[in-house]
C-alpha cells in the first residue's frame, strides 16, 4: 500500500472552492437558524396556544426525520410542484430549517434557565413580554447555552456535507469527484477529514471570539454564567 496524494493536491482549487462553499452554507444557516430557533423558542413558551402548537409541530417534525429526507423533499418536492430553486438556495433553506429546530430547543432551555425573579422584576417595571425577552432574558439565556449552540452549529457545518447529494459543489461533493477520477479514496477522504477538522477549529475559535465580544462577564471574569 503506497500513498499518493498528488492527484488530490493537484486539484487544490476544487478543495478550496469546496471549503469556501461549506463555510458559506454554515455561516448563512447559522445566522438564519439562530433567528428562527430563537423565535421558535419564544413561540413555544408563548401563552398563545396556536403559536406554541405550530412551533412544537415544527420542532418535532424536523427533529424526528432525517436531514437527507428533508433536503430531498425541498429540492425535488418543490420543483415537482413547479417551484424550482437553485441547489445552493435549497441547501441554505434546508440547513436553516433543520438547525432552527434544534436551536429552538436549546434556546428554550436557555430561556427557562433564567431565574423567575428576573421575569417578575421585568413585569413589575412594566416591560412587555417582548421587551422582557429583548432587554432582560435574551443575553443571559444565550450566554448560558452558548457552548451547546457552538456545538450545534459545528454539527451543522459537518452536516452540510449531505448537500452534495443535491449537487451543491461543497467540500464533500468536490472530494467525491476527485475520488471518482483519481481512484484514491483513502487519500482523498483523509485530506478532507483534515480540512473539516480545521474548519471546525476555526469555527469554534470564531464562536469563542464572538462570545468574548458580546458577553462582558465572560470577557472580564473569564467564567461561564
Partner 1 sequence: MAAVAMASLFVAAPSFADVLDNINSSKKIRVATDLGIPPFGMLDGSMQPSGSDVDVAKLLAADWGVELEFINTTGPTRIPNINTDKADVVISSLSVTEERKKAVDFTRPYSFIRTAIIAPADDLAKEWKDLAGKSVAVVRSTTQDIALTEKAPEFGFTVVRYDDDATTITAAVSGQATYVGLADPQMRAINERSPGKKFEAKIVINQFPIAMAVKKGETKLAEKLNEWIATNIENGKLNAAYKAHHNIDIPAEILK
73, 181, 202, 213: which one binds partner 1 (CB under 8 A): 181
- Taking CA atoms, 183 is separated from 61, 140, 180, in Å, by 39, 51, 6
Nearest distance, CB of residue 22 and partner 1, angstroms: 16
User: CA-CA distance, 66 to 93, in Å (whole number)?
Assistant: 15
Site residues for partner 1, 160-179, by CB under 8 A, read 164-167, 169, 173, 176-177, 179
Site residues for partner 1, 37-76, by CB under 8 A, read 75-76
Structural Rg of the chain based on CA atoms: 21
| Residue 79 within binding range of partner 1, rule CB under 8 A | yes
Size of the site for partner 1 (CB under 8 A): 19
Which residue's CB is nearer to partner 1, number 87 or number 101?
A: 87
87, 95, 99, 154: which one binds partner 1 (CB under 8 A): 87
Mutual angle of helices 87-113 and 49-63, in 10-degree steps: 120
Nearest distance, CB of residue 2 and partner 1, angstroms: 21
| Residue 92 within binding range of partner 1, rule CB under 8 A | no
Nearest distance, CB of residue 183 and partner 1, angstroms: 9
| Residue 17 within binding range of partner 1, rule CB under 8 A | no
65, 80, 113, 118: which one binds partner 1 (CB under 8 A): 80
Q: Tell me the backbone φ, ψ of residue 56, rounded to 5 degrees.
A: -65, -45
Contact residues for partner 1, defined by CB under 8 A = 75-77, 79-80, 82, 84, 87, 164-167, 169, 173, 176-177, 179-181
Amino acid at each position: 500500500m503506497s500513498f499518493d496524494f498528488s492527484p488530490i493536491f493537484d486539484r487544490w482549487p476544487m478543495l478550496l472552492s469546496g471549503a469556501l462553499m461549506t463555510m458559506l452554507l454554515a455561516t448563512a444557516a447559522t445566522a438564519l437558524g439562530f433567528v428562527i430557533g430563537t423565535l421558535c423558542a419564544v413561540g413555544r413558551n408563548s401563552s398563545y396556544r396556536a403559536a406554541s402548537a405550530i412551533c412544537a409541530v415544527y420542532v418535532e417534525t424536523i427533529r424526528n426525520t432525517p436531514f437527507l429526507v428533508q433536503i430531498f423533499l425541498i429540492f425535488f418536492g418543490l420543483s415537482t410542484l413547479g417551484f424550482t430553486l437553485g441547489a445552493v438556495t435549497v441547501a441554505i433553506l434546508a440547513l436553516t430549517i433543520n438547525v432552527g429546530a434544534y436551536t429552538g430547543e436549546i434556546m428554550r432551555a436557555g430561556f427557562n434557565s433564567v431565574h423567575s425573579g428576573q421575569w417578575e422584576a421585568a413585569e413589575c417595571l412594566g416591560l412587555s413580554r417582548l421587551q422582557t425577552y429583548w432587554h432582560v432574558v435574551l443575553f443571559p439565556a444565550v450566554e448560558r447555552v452558548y457552548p451547546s449552540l457552538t456545538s450545534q452549529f459545528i454539527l451543522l457545518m459537518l452536516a452540510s456535507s449531505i448537500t452534495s447529494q443535491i449537487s451543491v459543489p461543497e467540500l464533500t461533493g468536490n472530494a467525491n469527484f476527485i475520488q471518482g477520477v483519481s481512484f484514491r479514496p483513502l487519500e482523498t477522504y483523509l485530506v478532507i477529514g483534515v480540512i473539516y477538522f480545521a474548519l471546525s477549529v476555526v469555527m469554534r475559535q470564531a464562536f469563542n471570539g464572538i462570545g468574548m465580544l458580546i458577553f462582558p462577564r465572560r470577557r472580564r471574569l473569564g467564567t461561564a454564567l
